[in-house]
A and B are shown apart, each in its own frame.
Chain A
Amino acid sequence: MKIPNSCRDISGLLLAREDRSLSLGERLAVRVHILTCRACHRFEKQTLVLRGALRQWREHQREEGDPR
C-alpha cells in the first residue's frame, strides 16, 4: 500500500477522520506530515473549527426559540 504523504492525501485523511477511525499507519502519516507542513496544520485546525461549529449548530436546533 502506498504511504499517504502528499497534502492531498493528508487533508483527505483529516476529512475522513470525521467519519471513520484512521488506522495506526494513517494516524502516524498524518502526525509526521503535519510536523513539517504548515498548510496541512492549518487544514487540520479548520476541520476542528468546523467540527465544533457543527456541534453548536446541532445543539442550537434543539434549543427553545427560533430565529426569525
Chain B
Amino acid sequence: MSENAPDIASLARHLEALRPSLLRLAQLQLRNAAWAEDAVSETLLAALQGAQRYRGTAQLKTWVVGILKHKVLDQLRHHTREPTLADAGDDDADELETLLYRRDGHFQEMPEPWTDPCGELQREQFFAVLEACMEQLPARQGRVFLMREWLEIDSATICQELGIASTNLWILLHRARLRLRECLQQNWFGDHTS
C-alpha cells in the first residue's frame, strides 16, 4: 500500500465537501444543469488524478476552482454550436432602457451614490445578492458576463470561443451590465444606506 493512500482518501472527502460551491459556480456560468454536473465531475476527477500536485488544504479550493474554470470553458466550447448558445434574441432590453432614460437621453432619475458593499460585516450577504442578480440575467447575457467577470476572458477571445461577432457580444454585455446595475440598485444599494 502506498504511503499516501490515506491522503488520497482525505483529499476525496475534502473535494466532495467542495462540490456544492463548485456546482453553484458552474451553473452560474453555464446556465445548464447537465453541463454544470459534467464540468464538476470532470473537475473532481482531474483533481484526484493530479493529487500529487496538491499541497495542503489551504490551497485546495484555489487549486480546484482553477481546474473548474478550464472544465467549464471546455463545456462552453463543446456546446458552442447549440441553439441555446447561438440563438440571437432572448431578451427585450428596450423596457430596461425606457425605465432608465428619458426620450431625450437624460436619466429618468439621478443615479444614487453607491458605497463599497464588500466591508467585513456585509460582504457575504452582498455576494449572495450579487449571485442572485447574475442568476436572473437572461442565459446568454449571463454566460458572456460570467466569461468576462469570472473566467476573466477578454472580449476578442470570447467572440472566438462562442463564434459571435464583437458587436453582438457588446450588446449582450451592455444589457447584462445595465440589468445587473438595476438589480443591485433595487436589492442592495437602495436598501442599504450605510
Residues of A within 8 A of B (CB): 6-9, 11-12, 15-16, 18-20, 38-39, 42-43, 45-46, 49-50, 52-54, 56-58, 60-67
A36 → chain B closest CB, angstroms: 13
Q: Count A/B pairs, Cβ under 8 Å.
A: 101
Q: Is the CB of B61 within 8 A of A46?
A: no
Could you say which of B61, B104, B106, B150 contacts A39, with CB atoms under 8 Å apart?
Answer: B106
Q: Is the CB of A19 within 8 A of B61?
A: no
- With known contacts A15-B178, A38-B110, A64-B58, A58–B117 Cβ distance under 8 A: no
Q: Which residues of A contact B20 (CB under 8 A)?
A: 66
B30 → chain A closest CB, angstroms: 15
Q: Which residue of A lies closest to B107 (CB)?
A: A39
Inter-chain CA distance A65–B20, complex, in Å, is 12
Q: Which residues of A contact B128 (CB under 8 A)?
A: 67
Could you say which of B62, B107, B180 contacts A50, with CB atoms under 8 Å apart?
Answer: B180
Q: Is the CB of B106 within 8 A of A18?
A: no
Classify chain B: how many residues form its interface, as a range.
Answer: 35 or more
Q: For the complex, is B124 an interface residue (Cβ under 8 Å from A)?
A: yes
Most buried by B among A8, A19, A64, A67: A19
Q: Which residues of B contact A54 (CB under 8 A)?
A: 130, 149
Q: For the complex, is B99 an interface residue (Cβ under 8 Å from A)?
A: no
Q: Is the CB of A62 within 8 A of B65?
A: yes
Q: Is the CB of A64 within 8 A of B60?
A: yes
Could you say which of B149, B152, B170 contacts A20, with CB atoms under 8 Å apart?
Answer: B170
Q: Which residues of A contact B107 (CB under 8 A)?
A: 7, 11, 39, 43
